[in-house]
Amino acid sequence: MKTDFQKRHYHTIFEPVKDIAFILGKAPLMLRNRKNGWVSADFQERLLMAVTAVNGCRYCNYYHTRVALRMGFEPDEVKSLLAGDIDNPDPDEVRALLYAQHWAETNARPDSDLRDQIIDHYGLDRAAVIETIMRMIRFGNLSGNTIDCCFGSRAGAGDNSDFFSLLNPFIKRPNCVYRQDALERSSQ
């Protein structure tokens, strides 16, 4: 595996397995969230973008930019969240978004005092939903970055290589338009 790869990624097979097991174990909680609405779809999308901004997965960045814009987010808010700036006008969400950044920066090992503050503020169930959402995007972010780390180094094409380059000529490479292009088109 490439040693100079700068983005967060999985280093062993056990790391993604642990994340998957955690997520699957929280499935009943996530179903209760859908019924009770502890974390709205907009709040969830903001959490996903806050963690993605830290982990730097280009695939998740692209995907969640498109999702957020389709949900009606303003392009400036999307750009801001993906740049790591938290200027959300909803004071109830700000605490969780800042915690999400800290959580991602510490590789899912947040300061216990900060975690306790999140539980005190949101309650145990809502805090557990917030952490599960963060673990879900962590899995996506680190998986995407691991693909770039592993396959990019094998392809030997530097920054222009990615997972899809390995699959050529077996499949047609998708027309990848990255975050900035999507934001520019949406603001026109």
Query: pLDDT (tens digit, 9 = 90+) per residue, 51-93?
Result: 999 999 999 999 999 999 999 999 999 999 999 898 877 888 9
pLDDT of 159 over the 70 cut:
no
Note whether residue 75 is domain-resident: yes
Note whether residue 8 is domain-resident: no
Note whether residue 173 is domain-resident: no
Q: Which domain holds residue 30?
A: 14-142
Note whether residue 129 is domain-resident: yes
Give the pLDDT mean for 10-19. Answer: 87
- CB contact at 8 A, 31 and 122: no
Count how many domains the chain has. 1
* CA distances (Å), origin 18, targets 22, 32, 36, 169: 6, 22, 27, 34
pLDDT of 157 over the 80 cut:
no
Note whether residue 183 is domain-resident: no
What is the predicted pLDDT for the residue at 188?
55
What is the predicted pLDDT for the residue at 167?
45
**Residue 89, domain CATH:** 1.20.1290
pLDDT digits (tens, 9 = 90+) for 113-142: 999 999 999 999 999 999 999 999 999 999
Task: Report d(CA 184, CA 44) in Å as an integer.
Answer: 24
Note whether residue 177 is domain-resident: no
What is the predicted pLDDT for the residue at 87?
82
What is the predicted pLDDT for the residue at 175?
40
pTM comes to 0.77
* Mean pLDDT, all residues of the chain: 82
Note whether residue 167 is domain-resident: no
Least confident piece of the model among 70-79, 103-112, 169-178: 169-178
Note whether residue 54 is domain-resident: yes
Residue 67 CB partners (closer than 8 Å, separation 6+): 45
| Tokens, residue 74 | 């303003």
